[in-house]
A and B are shown apart, each in its own frame.
Chain A
Amino acid sequence: MAGASAETVEQVQEVTSQKYKYGFVTDIDMERPPKGLNEDIIRFISMKKNEPEWMLEWRLKAYRHWLTMTHPSWQKVKVPEIDFQDAYYYAAPKSDEDRPKSLDEVDPKLLETYEKLGIPLKEQEALAGVAVDAVFDSVSVATTYKKKLEEKGIIFCSISEAVQNHPELVREYLGSVVPYSDNFFATLNSAVFTDGSFVYVPKGVRCPMELSTYFRINAENTGQFERTLIIAEEGSYVSYLEGCTAPQRDENQLHAAVVELVALDDAEIKYSTVQNWYPGDEEGVGGIYNFVTKRGACRGDNSKISWTQVETGSAITWKYPSCILQGDNSVGEFYSIAITNNYQQADTGTKMIHLGKNTRSRIISKGISAGHADQTYRGLVRVSPKAENARNFTQCDSLLIGETCGAHTVPYIESRNRSAKVEHEATTSKISEDQLFYCRQRGLSEEDAVALVVNGFCREVLQQLPMEFAVEAQKLVGISLEGSVG
């Protein structure tokens, strides 16, 4: 007993001294502070990022609010309890020594999938995290892009850089679409977000290329609490691609990103996502929990925000990319493909909040469920009393493969304006034996036949993706369903 308590005292002292260290010493060589979440950790993160006082205050405000919140419980998604004190909230970027030196050191299973997706060798190396300098001159690629964008006055950088270099923009817009108090996971993100992207497109500028996290050098290690902010000024246009088709592994099980989009008068933002985080194995062990808050504000008249997503990964997905249609004549779109196989669970959909006159929204959701997976489309269309002539069309189709999966459709439709027209349609079906036999008679294997039929089912959404993304996404659809038949 005496020994044990001596040990305890020692531990306490250790903890206290660390606390002291993080709190007051700036010059520490500690890349990974201990597990757990408290104000000191948040101060540490803010300090490491050299953030101004207002940023730290905002984080702390969020953290204090988070402490008053409870973990949400959902109807259809079963989430094991998460111990938020048993996680790291800050990790410095990996050094080159920790990385694989070449593809020979990378998990062959991962490489096999890259191969199937048809990803070029150089890109495979980058994706697998092979030490970048060894493979290609990333700096020069980045420089070319940066120069092009700079000429147009477009800012595309990490959010950490933006806090340093464009504090006035970050301060004005951060949290203006997803407030720090929005929901349990968004609030947590506001307190501890590590990095993410920042895009600013000035008035009247049409961004000349698809912006992608993939080409942003410091896109790595944005960590589990990614924060993205995109601002499209009057009359501007930008198309942003997030994620990639290649399977992504991560030690962190919980991912709680926040994405905020702001479109001013006549501006348009197109945001495409391919999410392929590790879904866990065939038995449902492991896998990422992906709890994301994505919201766009069509603040200006005639503005447009379009979300396109292909969700194939993660053990649990919980996300509803939404549009707040404030400006008159503004348009919101949501195109979604969600595929769940084995023991994956997904609860995804959108919210279209019609506030302005003549606002229009369109929702096309294609859900495919196989194995023991469970999937829910959950969507809200709300027409406020002032949204004269608002229009919504929703089409929600589910495809079931096998007898042990589930597919659910839960739309909420709230209309408070008589001139508004809201239409919702949903169907559930399966791939018919006839279709499979027809394809096989023409020479396709059963797996290819399933992939082809499913791709056809998803066509309306795949067409919304930028060309190069679409081709890979099609292959991904097939790969995600491997082993679901026969």
Chain B
Amino acid sequence: MASESALEPFTEQYEALTGAGTLPGDALPWLKRLREEGIQRFGELGIPTPKVEVWKYTNLRALERTAFQPAAGGTATPSLDTVPSLIGEQAGHRIVFVNGRLHADLSRLDRLPDGARLTSFAKALDEDPGLLSDHVGRIAEGHDDQAMYHLNSALMQDGLVLHVRGGVKVEEPIEVVSVAAADGEPLSWHPRHLIVLDPDSEATLVENHVSLGGGATFANAVTEITVGAGARLHHYKLQDEATTAFHIHTLHGRVGENAFYDGFGLTVGGKLTRNDLHLRLEGSFSDARLNGAYLQRGKQHCDNTTLIEHCVPDTTCREVYKGALEGKGRAVFQGKLHVHPDAQRTDGHQLSQALLLSEEAEIDAKPELEIYADDVKCSHGSTAGELEKTALFYLRSRGIPYPVARRIMVESFLGGVVEEITTESLRTAFMERITNWLSQASD
């Protein structure tokens, strides 16, 4: 059961914000209902503990012990000079959020093609409330047991909204920079993102999560995605926050007929990162890629928990997660493929591979198959171990010093999954970040 004291700060926040009437969209009945349901369910469920099966390996006690204050809006515009762009400084579309709120001055939204709309959640509530009421809380429906999702629903204020109309293709990638900025007291926010791709449209979205300032932060994000029939979404994410950041991200996506969802997440930063990714393949011949990589050291903890549901016949998914751990770094991979009755000819494959580079690193993997249809091809694999000793020796015998040899081997190991990113420039950017991480002195 939920301990009262742990919930208090959040319920208090909710009461203060609703009391003051400062939550956006206060006048919208559907949103009000969503918030009320959210805070109620969160109250019932409480902050997840390892007793909850899907949180078996990730303990949020440290999060509970930190007294987070809600991040205020209207903070000064930070300088992003130290934040390298994943798409290059000059080109492309860019939208910047600071502590969960849009910073229009830092964003570059003027070059989007007609039919593509990129805005913030708060603005969209005014400009296009219909789009939000049609999707927000609807895509995620049926996941009543996710406490952090409900907390987000109660407290959400801003976030990203991308809507691409039928047949429109956004050629250049859209970079979403999320800055966690805290200097003093610990701050928290609950961003809510919505991505709607109408039939036969296409877009590439790359999330770049960074920190400025040395304070503790807690971002509890929810993303809802719908990929319409024949549409293609490339969705990449770099979690590069500081080791003072708690980062929980719940994603719910629905993929239509002949549609393609191409996801990739690289986690190098964060004190505690949890990606809760859930895709439903709802149209025949839909296809999902859900790939990722992680590098953690010190006392970093990263958890990728995924659920891919095959709801109809003839759907495909491929999922590969690879990571390397140093120091007391710890990683969790929980991946479930769920094949519904009648989802015949499902083709689903999943692989988790971890390298333990230090004595105190730990990996916990739980790859899971849940299958209720007989004509399927499903498999999963999981490995954990250290670097191949003979290969390491081979490199060293050719005169390559140990740290370099090790770096090369980890790079090539992770490169195998980074290759799955279809946009070449982004593939390079992610690979560079990996190389960079590996070149930093390990502890």
Contact = CB atoms under 8 A, between A and B. Distances in A.
A48 to B, nearest CB: 41
A421 B373 contact: no
Interface stretch (B12-20, B25-33, B84-92, B380-388): B380-388
A424 B382 contact: yes
B367 A424 contact: yes
B361 interface: yes
A418 interface: yes
A236 to B, nearest CB: 34
B110 to A, nearest CB: 49
A423 B357 contact: no
Interface in B363-402: 363-386
A414 B385 contact: no
Interface string B340-379: 0110100000000010111111111111111111111111
Given A418-B359, A421-B384, A408 B371 contact: yes
Contact of A415 (B354, B359, B377): B354
A426 B369 contact: yes
B138 to A, nearest CB: 27
Given A408-B369, A408-B370, A429-B377, A419 B364 contact: no
A425 B374 contact: no
A126 interface: no
B45 to A, nearest CB: 17
A415 B355 CA distance: 10
The residue in A400, A427, A428 that gathers the most chain B C-beta atoms within 10 A of its C-beta is A428
Contacts of A421: 383-386
A414 B364 CA distance: 4
30 contacts: A75-B53, A400-B371, A402-B374, A405-B374, A408-B371, A411-B367, A412-B364, A412-B365, A412-B366, A413-B365, A413-B382, A413-B384, A415-B362, A415-B363, A415-B364, A416-B362, A418-B357, A418-B386, A420-B385, A421-B383, A421-B386, A422-B383, A422-B385, A424-B365, A426-B379, A426-B381, A428-B376, A428-B378, A429-B377, A430-B374
The residue in B359, B363, B384, B386 that gathers the most chain A C-beta atoms within 10 A of its C-beta is B384
A407 interface: yes
Given A414-B364, A415-B354, A420 B371 contact: no
Nearest to B362: A416
A401 B373 CA distance: 9
Contacts of A406: 370-372
A404 B341 contact: yes
B381 A424 contact: yes
A81 B111 CA distance: 64
Given A425-B379, A425-B382, 17 more contacts: A398-B371, A406-B370, A408-B368, A408-B369, A413-B363, A413-B384, A415-B356, A415-B384, A418-B357, A419-B386, A420-B356, A421-B386, A422-B383, A426-B379, A428-B369, A429-B376, A430-B375
Interface residues of A, number: 34
Contacts of B367: 409, 411, 413, 424, 426
B364 A426 contact: no
Interface residues of B, number: 37
Contacts of A425: 379-382
A410 interface: yes
Nearest to B366: A412
Contact of B378 (A401, A410, A413, A427): A427
A321 to B, nearest CB: 20
B213 to A, nearest CB: 34
B384 A422 contact: yes
Contacts of B361: 416, 418
Contacts of A427: 378-379
A407 B360 contact: no
A32 B380 CA distance: 52
Contacts of B377: 428-429
B275 to A, nearest CB: 19
A-B pairs with lowest CB-CB distance, top 6: A418-B356, A400-B374, A421-B385, A424-B382, A409-B369, A413-B365
A401 B374 contact: yes
B18 to A, nearest CB: 36
A361 to B, nearest CB: 14
Contact of B374 (A403, A408, A414, A419): A403
A416 B381 CA distance: 19
Interface string A419-453: 11111111111100000000000000000000000
Contacts of B380: 409, 424-426
A428 B372 CA distance: 11
Nearest to B56: A412
A403 B342 contact: yes
A410 B384 contact: no
A413 B374 contact: no
A417 interface: yes
Contacts of A408: 368-371
Contacts of A418: 356-359, 361, 385-386
A385 interface: yes
Contacts of A404: 341
The residue in A398, A414, A423 that gathers the most chain B C-beta atoms within 10 A of its C-beta is A414
Contacts of A409: 367-369, 380
Nearest to B378: A428
Contacts of B384: 413, 415, 420-422
A366 to B, nearest CB: 14
Contacts of A420: 356, 384-385
A413 B381 contact: no
Contacts of A419: 385-386
Nearest to B355: A418
A406 B374 CA distance: 8
Interface in A360-413: 385, 398, 400-413
A412 to B, nearest CB: 5
B320 to A, nearest CB: 14
Contacts of A416: 360-362
Given A418-B361, A421-B385, A413 B366 contact: yes
